Amino acid sequence: MTLISDPTDTRAPPPSESTGSKIKKALGPIGVIGVVILKFIGKIKFILPILLKTGGSMVLMVGVYASIWGWKWAVGFVLLLLLHECGHLLVAKKFGLAVSAPMFIPFMGAFIALKEAPRNAWMEACVGIGGPILGSLAAAACHALGLALDYPLLIALAWTAYFLNLFNLTPVGMLDGGRIVTALSPWLWLPGFAALGWLAWTYPNFIVWILLFASLPRIFSLFRKRTAEEQRYYEVARPQRWLMAAMYFGLIGALVLGMQISHLQLMERVGTARQKYQQTFPQTE
């Protein structure tokens, strides 16, 4: 079939597409992909501080501890510390408090920084006990796994985590225990300060001394007259006070028991290993 042009058609031919429009059309899909990527990054930007700060400080701590005690112990120890701090983080987020990502400092431990103060003693106590509760559960899980696999390293890690969570429950200063007892009685800071002072004197350690001096402002605050606003801060309903006391002292008892059991189990395995060694390599006189 032959196409015949109509001589009476006066319509102008379509204009040719310019180079600039061709480039824009070609780059259009790339631009859409870029916008989608930027939106995705915007939605997950809260992960970046954890990846950069928490992840970097964790790697540093693992590297330092691995050079002393080996990478297996270092990785396990740092993960247990992370779970402890996540306990604080989860409770703080539950109350709507702004907090920083967990940070790790070799030989100092880990911490999260509250960017806004708790509104009352009950809130401070809840954030304080969140870390030891999750940290203790993580230690118990590590302990159970060590028994199931008959792997003494995991049992040793569990003992270490039991001890660290128990130490953090000392009712003084900015330790977790010092925050928890604000919902019970701030006067419990005094026996906590005395216990920490005895520890610093008997077993000198620069970390314990730092904690001791950092506790002084709160100790001094016990002996000055509180304002009406401060009085309201420490007002806690009786059921809440009893609940916090049960969790606090119950957790202390559970951690002491966990330390004792894991210690006996480790000693049992050490004795068994020593007997096997002596049987395999008997000493000749």
- Which tens digits make up the pLDDT trace of 132-167? 999 999 999 999 999 999 999 999 999 999 999 999
Q: At 17, is the pLDDT very low, low, confident or very high (cuts 50, 70, 90)?
A: low
pLDDT band at 246 (very low <50, low <70, confident <90, very high): very high
How large a percentage of the chain has pLDDT more than 90?
A: 44
Distances (CA, A) of 161 to 109, 140, 185, 258: 12, 9, 27, 10
The pLDDT value recorded for residue 52 is 53
How far is Cα 87 from Cα 91, in angstroms, rounded to an integer?
Answer: 6
pLDDT given for residue 10 in this prediction: 47
- Dist. CA 147–CA 143, nearest whole Å: 6
Per-residue pLDDT tens for 175-216? 999 999 999 999 999 999 999 999 889 988 888 898 899 899
| Helix/strand/coil for 109 | strand
Higher pLDDT, 257 or 270: 257
Handedness of CA 176, 177, 183, 187 (dihedral sign): negative
Kindly tell me if the per-residue pLDDT of 20 is higher than 50.
yes
Out of 20-29, 218-227, 249-258, give the one with best mean pLDDT: 249-258
- The pLDDT of residue 49 is 54
- Average pLDDT along the chain: 81
The whole-number pLDDT of residue 41 equals: 44
Measured distance CA(26)–CA(45) in Å, rounded: 30
Residue 281 has pLDDT above 80, yes or no: no
Q: How confident is the model at residue 102 (pLDDT cuts 50, 70, 90)?
A: confident
Say if CB 81 and CB 110 are below 8 A apart: yes
The C-alpha atoms of residue 136 and residue 217 are separated, in whole angstroms, by 29
* Mean pLDDT of the 108-121 span: 80
What pLDDT does 11 receive?
A: 45
What pLDDT does 204 receive? 83
Residue pair 84/131 in contact (Cβ under 8 Å)? The answer is yes
The pLDDT score that the predictor gives to residue 108 is 74
- Percentage with pLDDT > 70 across the chain: 79
User: For the segment 53-96, what is each residue's pLDDT rounded down to a tens digit?
Assistant: 566 677 777 888 888 888 898 899 999 999 999 999 899 989 98
pLDDT band at 237 (very low <50, low <70, confident <90, very high): very high
Give kind and range of the element (H or E) at residue 111.
Answer: strand 109-111
Name the pLDDT band for 25 (thresholds 50, 70, 90). low
Q: Where are the domains of the chain?
A: 47-270
Name the band, by pLDDT with cuts 50, 70 and 90, for residue 43: very low
* Separation CA 177–CA 86 (nearest Å): 17
Residues 6+ apart with CB under 8 A from 215: 172, 173, 174, 178, 189, 192, 193, 196
pLDDT at 130: 94
